[in-house]
C-alpha cells in the first residue's frame, strides 16, 4: 500500500494508465510538430513564395476582395423599395434584392448566382443527390466511429473525442426569428409578384410572362422539365444582361418602333374620323330624304281624307242617258223564291263494283 499512497493519503497515479496517456500525448506532439514543420517548409519554399507573392496571387486576392464586396453590397440591397405597389401596399425587401441581382448591378455576384443555379439544375438531373447524401452520411459516421474505436483500443482515448467541441452548436432564438422573418418576406415576394403579373401592373412584364407561359405550354411536350428550367433561368439572367450591354441601341430601336406605331395609330384615327364623318353625312342626307318623303306621304294622305273643295270653274259634264245605261228588268226575269224549308238528301249507300 505504501507504493500507491503517501503519508497524506493522496492517491498516486496508476502505473497502467500513465504510460498510455503519455504515449498518446507524445504521438499528438509528434504529429503536430511534423505537420507544422511540413507546413513551414512548403510555405518558405521558393515556388510557394513566387505563387503567393506573384502577380497571379495578387490578381486572385484582388478579385476575391471585389467579389466579397459585391456580395456584401448585394446583401445590403435588401431594403424595402420606396415605390409601393399599385394598391398602395409596401413591397418586400426581396423586390429590391432580386431587382439588383437580375439587373447585373453587381456582375460578379449575378454571374456566380447564375452559374450556381445552372450547376444545381445539372446536378439535380444527372446526380442522385439523395443517394449521395446517404453515402456521405454513412462515410462520415464510419470515419468518426472507427477513429473513436481505434483510439480507445490503442490509447484508451478516442480520436473523435479529442476533436469534439467544448460546446455544441445551437441555433439562437434571434437567429431563428430572423430566419423565419426572411422566409416570410420571401413567400410574400412571390405572392405579390404573382398578383402584379396577373393584374397587369407592369404591362411589359405581364406580356413577357404571357409569352413565356405560352411557349412553355408547347415546349413541355418535347423538352424535359430540367431543360425547361435551364431555358427559363438563362432567359431570366441573360435577357437583362443583353439589354444592359446594348441599352442605347435597343432604346433607339424601341423609340423608332414606338414613333412608327404612333404614326400609324394617328393615321388610323384620322381615317376612322373621316369615315365616321362621311358616314354621318350620308346618314343625315338619307334621313333628310326619307323624312321629306314621309312628310309628303303624310300630307297626301291627309289631303285625301278631307272632302274636295269645289273649284271656281265648274267641270264640264256630259248628260247621261239613263234609259240607255240602265237595263229594264221585270219580275218575271227572276226565279221564284222557295217557300218551304230545305231538306237534306237521303244518304247513298255505296255498292261494290263487283258483286259477290
pLDDT, tens digit (0-9, with 9 covering 90-100), for 215-241: 999 999 999 999 999 999 999 999 999
C-alpha radius of gyration, the chain, whole number: 54
pLDDT at res. 278: 86
Distance CA(292)–CA(298), nearest Å, equals 10
pTM of the model: 0.60
Longest dimension (CA), the chain: 189
What single DSSP character describes residue 331?
A: G
pLDDT at res. 262: 87
Cβ–Cβ under 8 Å, residues 219 and 228: yes
Percent of the chain residues topping a pLDDT of 90: 33
Within 13 Å, how many C-alpha atoms sit on residue 220's CB side? 9
pLDDT at 7 over 50: no
**Vertex 145 angle, CA 144 and 146, to 5°:** 95
| 112-148: pLDDT as tens digits | 999 999 999 999 899 888 899 999 999 999 999 999 9
* Span 341-354, average pLDDT: 56
Cβ–Cβ under 8 Å, residues 227 and 124: no
Q: Which three three-digit cell numbers place residue 9?
A: 493519503
Amino acid at each position: 500500500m505504501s507504493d500507491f499512497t503517501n503519508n497524506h493519503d493522496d492517491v498516486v497515479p496508476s502505473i497502467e494508465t500513465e504510460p498510455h496517456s503519455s504515449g498518446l500525448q507524445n504521438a499528438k506532439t509528434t504529429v503536430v510538430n511534423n505537420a507544422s514543420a511540413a507546413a513551414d517548409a512548403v510555405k518558405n519554399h521558393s515556388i510557394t513564395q513566387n505563387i503567393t507573392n506573384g502577380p497571379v496571387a495578387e490578381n486572385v486576392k484582388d478579385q476575391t476582395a471585389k467579389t466579397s464586396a459585391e456580395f456584401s453590397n448585394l446583401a445590403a440591397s435588401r431594403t424595402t423599395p420606396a415605390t409601393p405597389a399599385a394598391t398602395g401596399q409596401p413591397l418586400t425587401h426581396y423586390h429590391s434584392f432580386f431587382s439588383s441581382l437580375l439587373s447585373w448591378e453587381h456582375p460578379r455576384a449575378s454571374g456566380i448566382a447564375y452559374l450556381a443555379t445552372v450547376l444545381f439544375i445539372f446536378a439535380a438531373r444527372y446526380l442522385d443527390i439523395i443517394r449521395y447524401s446517404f453515402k456521405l452520411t454513412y462515410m462520415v459516421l464510419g470515419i468518426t466511429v472507427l477513429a473513436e474505436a481505434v483510439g480507445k483500443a490503442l490509447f484508451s482515448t478516442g480520436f473523435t473525442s479529442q476533436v469534439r467541441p467544448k460546446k455544441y452548436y445551437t441555433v439562437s432564438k434571434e437567429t431563428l426569428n430572423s430566419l423565419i422573418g426572411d422566409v416570410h418576406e420571401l413567400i410574400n415576394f412571390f405572392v405579390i409578384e404573382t398578383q402584379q403579373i396577373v393584374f397587369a401592373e407592369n404591362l411589359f412584364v405581364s406580356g413577357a410572362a404571357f409569352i413565356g407561359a405560352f411557349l412553355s405550354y408547347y415546349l413541355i411536350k418535347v423538352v424535359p422539365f430540367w431543360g425547361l428550367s435551364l431555358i427559363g433561368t438563362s432567359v431570366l439572367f441573360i435577357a437583362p444582361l443583353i439589354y444592359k450591354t446594348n441599352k442605347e441601341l435597343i432604346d433607339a430601336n424601341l423609340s423608332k418602333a414606338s414613333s412608327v406605331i404612333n404614326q400609324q395609330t394617328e393615321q388610323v384615327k384620322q381615317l376612322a374620323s373621316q369615315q365616321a364623318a362621311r358616314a354621318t353625312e350620308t346618314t343625315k342626307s338619307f334621313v333628310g330624304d326619307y323624312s321629306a318623303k314621309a312628310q309628303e306621304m303624310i300630307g297626301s294622305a291627309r289631303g285625301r281624307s278631307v272632302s274636295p273643295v269645289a273649284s271656281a270653274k265648274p267641270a264640264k259634264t256630259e248628260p247621261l242617258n239613263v234609259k240607255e245605261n240602265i237595263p229594264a228588268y221585270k219580275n218575271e226575269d227572276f226565279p221564284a223564291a222557295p217557300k218551304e224549308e230545305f231538306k237534306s238528301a237521303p244518304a247513298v249507300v255505296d255498292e261494290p263494283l263487283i258483286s259477290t
